[in-house]
Structures are given as C-alpha cells and as structure tokens.
C-alpha cells in the first residue's frame, strides 16, 4: 500500500504489521497525552510535588533524555568538525535519536511550566542570573539545529526527493552542515553544562554543592563530559535494539567499534574526573558545610551507599574499561553490556543530581523526603518513550536512515 514511499533496495514489514505496532504504541502515547492534558487543564496538583519537593519524576526524565540525546551533538561534532568520516554511517540515526530526545525534553518542560502559553516569557523576560535561562535558550536553539540536521533525511524520502526543490535543498543543507554541527556543539556544551551547574551552585544543599572554576561549579563540566561519553552509547544501544527487532545488520562493526572506542575514552576520562570530584566533595566540601559522607547515604529506606558505588564503579569504571580495551570491546556481549551500563550510569547520575538532592535532609530537624510519583507523572514520563518509538518506526520505514543497510542486506528479487 505504501511501497512507493519506502526507500529503494530495502525490505520493510507488511503495512498491516506496521500499523498494528503503531496502534499498540499509539495507545500508550494517548495515555501519556491524557495525563499531560490533566496537568495542563487541572494544574500541577496532579503530581505529587509539594513545596518541599519541587522536582517531579519528569525532571529526572528531562535531564536523562538530554544526556542520552547528547549522542547527536557529539557524533555530529566528530563527523563534521573533527572529520571522522566513518561516522557518516550512523550520524542520521544519532540525529534522529537526538531529535526525539530534545523534542521530548521540550515537551516535558512544557508540562512542567504548568502554563505553556507563557513559555515565551523565558526569552523575553529572561532572568540572566539563572542557569536555567541558559538551558532554555540553548535547548530551544539546539532543537532548531537538530531540526535542520533532520530535515535533509526527511527530504531524502523517495517521493520528496523527486521534487527538484527539495532534492537541491537537502543537498545544499548537507554542504554547510559543519556550520550547523559546530553551532550545535557550542549550544550543547553550554546547556548540558548548565544543567549540571544548577545542582552545583546550590550552596544551601550540601549534597549538591561543588567547588567552582570561575563561575562554573565542577558539575558543569562533568555533565557535559558525561553526556558526550554516554550519548553515543545510547545511539549504539538503540541501533542494536533496532537491529534485533528488524533482524538485520544496519551498521558495520567498524563504525560501532570506532564510536564505542571514542565513548570508552570519554567515559574513562570522565569517570576519573568524577571520582576526584566525589572524593574532594566527600573529604573537603561536605565536611566544611557540617556533613559527613555517610549522612547522605543513611537513615532512609532507599538512598544507600549502593547508589554511589553503582553509579561510579559498576556503571562507570566497568563499561569504560570494556570500551577502552580492544579485545573486550570487540566481544559482542561485553560491548552490549558496557553500552547498557553506561546509559544506566548517566541516568542514575541525573537521578541523584535531581531527586536525591531534593530528598536529602538539610537542617538537623529535617527528615528524608522520599516521594512516590503520581500516575500522571509516570504516564507523562513514558509518553516521550512511546513518541520516540513511533518516530523511529516512521523514519526507519520511509527514510534511508542507515546508508549501509542496502549493502549489508541485499534484497533478492
């Protein structure tokens, strides 16, 4: 039925099967949309946030998808600015995943502001003393860059490509993509960093506060670094999942190996910096504020020292070692384990820096503020996942996302 839209030389599942899966995932999407509308129409009383605990579950999801979507800016930087030509075979997918992650982040913020009609206030009545203003500026501008990077892929659709204007436009956009990619890297550096900076400048919360380099707390650099390290791992993980679902090889091993190796070194250097930062915070910063390390990890039912060990050792050191050492990296099960652990690690880091900060007591008379999200928070957090799956399904079906697909999976006529 839709065969005229499917790229030449590749095989796709029957239309009924495609529509069935769109329908199943679409039902989950509608559930999330219903919860989102409840938050907009009835207000943020639909969440379990309160005056003490001001970050909903979706703020963690927001920071996590921004970190995981970092694969787009870093892969784009490597491909267009550094000149790693092999990455042209995975850059489309990195851009698509980045587009999904950043549009999801903006959607989450639109829910979180409670009154989305006033979103433009942040640009016109900007508070220039807020790191979140910088995040909003860079996030929305970088989403514009991702749209520009995604448009040429859309224009390569078989039918759109037949229109001379679209064909030529896509070609011309490709020609100056390095400028857009460099702008994207600039914007990403600052918004990833500022998201970390938000935690690091909170001098009233010793669990979050870090020492500064000029005006930037160390968390500024750690957030950018971790996004550049783990974002490509997420791209590789989604590629692996797509290959498993479609039953095809879509990207050659040398491309995955290169991206995995670069991620490994980024992760390795990041985790060394993270260990130094954590040690200094535990030994100097927190005691100077009257806290010992174990006070942040005891007297509650959830946040034990396990979370620190898991984040740094199991989801940091371990995947970094696997990805940095060639023979380990080329072992497929180990490679897959490493990229999964890296993705879990960065999500765990964002959880700690968003939710544990809110939960940890500050005053001697405070208690741990553990909270359970409402179903509306859960549904709006799952909403971007369903949206992402649908957009990947549509893009994969109708656009030449993987340049090596035809070569790796020749269609027998």
Which positions lie near another protein, rule CB under 8 A? 123-126, 128-129, 133-134, 137-138, 141, 144-145, 148, 164-165, 167-169, 171-173, 176, 179-180, 183, 186-187, 190
CB atoms within 10 A of CB 363: 6
Helices 15-42 and 375-398, packing angle to 10 deg: 150
Q: Least distance to another protein from the beta carbon of 80, Å?
A: 13
Q: Cα(first)–Cα(last) distance of the chain, in Å?
A: 19
Rounded to 5°, angle at Cα 389 from 231 and 236? 30
Residue with smaller CB distance to another protein, 168 or 289: 168
Q: Least distance to another protein from the beta carbon of 139, Å?
A: 11
Residue with smaller CB distance to another protein, 154 or 173: 173
Residue with smaller CB distance to another protein, 18 or 137: 137
Burial of 320 (0-12, 13-18, 19+ CB in 10 A): buried
Residue with smaller CB distance to another protein, 220 or 371: 220
Q: Least distance to another protein from the beta carbon of 171, Å?
A: 5
Q: Least distance to another protein from the beta carbon of 366, Å?
A: 33
Say which residues have a Cβ less than 8 Å from residue 270's Cβ, sequence separation at least 6.
222, 225, 226, 229, 316, 320
What's the CA gap between 201 and 251, in Å, rounded?
A: 42
Residue with smaller CB distance to another protein, 8 or 129: 129
Q: What is the DSSP letter of 79?
A: I
Distances (CA, A) of 280 to 139, 210, 312: 31, 9, 15
Distances (CA, A) of 157 to 111, 313, 409: 33, 44, 19
Q: Least distance to another protein from the beta carbon of 130, Å?
A: 9
- Burial state string for 153-190 with b = 16 or more CB within 10 A and e = fewer than 16: bebbbeebeeeeebeeebeeeeeebeebbebbbebbbb
Residue with smaller CB distance to another protein, 5 or 173: 173
Residue with smaller CB distance to another protein, 102 or 190: 190
Find tokens 């080329």 and name the residue.
330
CB atoms within 10 A of CB 240: 18
Q: Least distance to another protein from the beta carbon of 374, Å?
A: 35
Q: Least distance to another protein from the beta carbon of 137, Å?
A: 5
Residue with smaller CB distance to another protein, 118 or 168: 168
Q: Least distance to another protein from the beta carbon of 151, Å?
A: 9
Helix (H), strand (E) at residue 154 = helix 131-155
Residue with smaller CB distance to another protein, 119 or 409: 119
Residue with smaller CB distance to another protein, 167 or 261: 167
Q: Least distance to another protein from the beta carbon of 8, Å?
A: 14
Q: Least distance to another protein from the beta carbon of 45, Å?
A: 31
Whether residue 258 contacts residue 236, with contact meaning beta carbons closer than 8 Å, is answered with no
What's the CA gap between 11 and 159, in Å, rounded?
A: 17
CB atoms within 10 A of CB 359: 20
């Amino acid at each position: 039925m839709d065969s005229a839209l499917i790229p030449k030389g590749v095989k796709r599942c029957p239309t009924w099967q495609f529509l069935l899966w769109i329908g199943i995932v679409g039902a989950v999407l509608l559930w999330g949309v219903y919860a989102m509308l409840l938050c907009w129409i009835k207000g943020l009383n639909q969440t379990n946030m309160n005056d003490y605990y001001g970050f909903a579950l979706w703020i963690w999801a927001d920071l996590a998808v921004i970190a995981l979507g970092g694969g787009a800016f870093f892969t784009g930087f490597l491909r267009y600015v550094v000149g790693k030509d092999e990455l042209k075979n995975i850059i489309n997918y990195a851009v698509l995943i980045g587009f999904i992650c950043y549009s999801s982040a903006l959607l989450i913020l639109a829910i979180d502001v409670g009154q989305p009609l006033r979103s433009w206030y942040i640009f016109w009545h900007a508070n220039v003393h807020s790191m979140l203003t910088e995040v909003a500026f860079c996030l929305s501008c970088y989403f514009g860059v991702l749209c520009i990077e995604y448009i040429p892929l859309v224009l390569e659709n078989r039918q759109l490509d037949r229109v001379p204007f679209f064909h030529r436009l896509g070609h011309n956009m490709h020609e100056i993509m390095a400028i857009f990619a460099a702008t994207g890297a600039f914007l990403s550096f600052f918004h990833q960093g500022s998201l970390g900076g938000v935690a690091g400048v909170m001098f009233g919360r010793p669990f979050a506060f870090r020492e500064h380099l000029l005006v930037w707390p160390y968390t500024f650099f750690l957030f950018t670094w971790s996004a550049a390290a783990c974002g490509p791992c997420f791209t590789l993980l989604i590629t692996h999942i797509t290959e498993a679902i479609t039953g095809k090889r879509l990207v050659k091993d040398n491309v995955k190996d290169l991206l995995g190796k670069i991620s490994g070194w980024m992760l390795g250097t990041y985790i060394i910096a993270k260990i130094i930062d954590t040690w200094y915070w535990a030994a100097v910063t927190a005691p100077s504020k009257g806290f010992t390390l174990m006070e942040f990890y005891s007297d509650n039912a959830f946040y034990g020292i396990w979370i620190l060990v898991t984040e740094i050792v199991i989801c940091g050191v371990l995947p970094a070692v696997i990805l940095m050492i060639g023979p380990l990296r080329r072992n497929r099960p180990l490679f897959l384990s490493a990229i999964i652990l890296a993705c879990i690690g960065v999500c765990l880091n964002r959880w700690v820096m968003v939710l544990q900060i809110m939960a940890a007591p500050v005053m001697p008379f405070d208690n741990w503020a553990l909270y359970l999200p409402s179903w509306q928070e859960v549904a709006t957090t799952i909403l971007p996942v369903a949206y992402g799956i649908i957009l990947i399904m549509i893009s994969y079906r109708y656009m030449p996302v993987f340049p090596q697909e035809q070569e790796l999976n020749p269609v027998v006529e």
